[in-house]
Structure 1
Amino acid sequence: MQTIKHFFKTHPHAWWGFYLPVYLAMFFIIEHFITDNYWATQTPLDDAIPFCEWFIFPYVSWSPLLVVLGIYLILKDGEGFRRYMWFIMVTFTTAVVFCILVPNGQDLRPAVMEHHNLATWLVEYTYSIDTNTNVFPSVHVLGVMAALAAVWHTPGLQKPAWRWGVTLYGLVIIAATVFVKQHAAIDVLSGIFTSCIAYIFVYLIVGRRRDRRLAVRKGA
């Protein structure tokens, strides 16, 4: 217990991480109640996107990416972690509120798998634990964009290999959402749009004001 208290005393920014269980609670509640009578987000564009089960591997690597990056920021860049979490809080909460106000879902999942392999098994398992509702905007996209913003603003990750590597990896995860039919194309586009607004607010408006205040404190 003393070790935990000491950790939070020396890493007070880590408290922002407790938003995640709050978000998960909200998400599971709307997953339980929003099951039908929803706005279907698929468009003719989605018919041109083939189903490819192999994209399930980058799709499920989304959570590890966010967690590993979060742990790194907690330990190495407290201010970066704050802004990372602010971005997540703004976008994820926006997604939950929108899904409550405008229940939505997509009807793109294949009824039967044409192949049977590890990838299709993982797709079917993912379908079994994650409903086809509450998809607009895509939280997967919001999370990836939060990670990319954090990486590009973290001094310790300024090497091109890190920044461009994570960026390309993030783009693959975003593409995976439509190839495994977890999201429609407009879910992805709305996620990108929401993320752009959040980036302006968190990093360009609030972030720059905070940078000026921190600079004044250091100079005092």
Structure 2
Amino acid sequence: METVKKFIKEHPHMWWGLYLPVYLAMFFIIEHLITDNYWATQTAIDDYIPFCEWFIFPYDAWSFLLVAIGLYLIVKDGEGFRRYMWTIAITFTTATVFCALVPNGQDLRPAVMAHHNIATWLLENTYALDTNTNVFPSVHILGCMAAVAAVWHTPGLRKPAWRWGVTLYAALVMVSTMFVKQHAVIDVLAGLLTGAIAYVFVYVIVGRRRDKRLGIK
């Protein structure tokens, strides 16, 4: 117990992580409230993107990416963790509020799986947990952008293998959202735009001021 207390005292920034259960509570509330009568976000361009169940593996592994980066930053880079969580809090909350005000969803999921394998089994379970509503902007995209921004701004992760590895993996996750028919193209584009605006605010506007105040070069 003393070890835990000491760790918390030495890493007070970890409390920013409490935003995640708050977000999950908001997400599951709107998931249960918004089930129909929504704005369908799919467009004609989505018809050209084939369905591929195997992309469910990078899609579902998204959470592991975010958690791994968060844990590293808690231990190694307190200021980096704060900015990481600020980015997530701003973008995830924005997405949730927008979905509550403008109910949205997509009608791209296959009605029946053409065949059955481990990927389709995992996909069907993912569909059951994560409905086809509340998709604009894509939170998967927002999380990926937060992860990439954090890695590129973390001194301990300067090696190209880390930075480009996470960037390429995040790109794979982003693409997977469309191949497993969890998101339409405009959901992804909205996520990229929202994430870019949050990046400028957290890392450029606020970040530079904090760097100057904290003496970070």
- CA separation in 2, counterparts of 1:168 and 1:215? 32
- CA separation in 2, counterparts of 1:104 and 1:89? 21
Q: Secondary structure at the match of 2:215?
A: helix
Q: Match for 1:125: what amino acid?
A: N
Which residue does 1:99 correspond to in 2? 99
- CA separation in 1, counterparts of 2:28 and 2:87? 21
Which residue does 2:67 correspond to in 1? 67
- CA separation in 2, counterparts of 1:52 and 1:2? 50
1:36 aligns with 2:36: yes
- CA separation in 1, counterparts of 2:84 and 2:104? 27
1:182 aligns with 2:182: yes
Q: Secondary structure at the match of 1:73?
A: helix
Which residue does 2:130 correspond to in 1? 130
Q: Secondary structure at the match of 1:23?
A: helix
1:84 aligns with 2:84: yes
- Structure 1 residue runs of 4+, over 3 Å off? none
- CA separation in 2, counterparts of 1:15 and 1:64? 19
RMSD: 1.2
- CA separation in 2, counterparts of 1:193 and 1:77? 27
Deviation of residue 129 (structure 1)? 1.0
Deviation of residue 5 (structure 1)? 2.3
1:170 aligns with 2:170: yes
Which residue does 2:197 correspond to in 1? 197
Q: Secondary structure at the match of 1:174?
A: helix
Q: Match for 1:12: what amino acid?
A: P
Which residue does 2:25 correspond to in 1? 25
- CA separation in 1, counterparts of 2:8 and 2:101? 36
Deviation of residue 215 (structure 1)? 1.3
Flag structure 1 segments of 5+ consecutive residues without an equivalent. Answer: none
- CA separation in 1, counterparts of 2:4 and 2:133? 38
Deviation of residue 3 (structure 1)? 3.1
Under a length normalisation based on structure 2, what TM-score does the superposition of the two structures give?
A: 0.98
- CA separation in 2, counterparts of 1:97 and 1:128? 23
Which residue does 2:211 correspond to in 1? 211
1:51 aligns with 2:58: no
- CA separation in 2, counterparts of 1:5 and 1:192? 39
Which residue does 2:108 correspond to in 1? 108
Cα deviations by residue, 1:52-103 (Å, 9 ceiling, x for unpaired): 0000000000000000110000001111000000000000000011001100
Under a length normalisation based on structure 1, what TM-score does the superposition of the two structures give?
A: 0.97
Count residues in correspondence: 217
Deviation of residue 130 (structure 1)? 0.9
Which residue does 1:154 correspond to in 2? 154
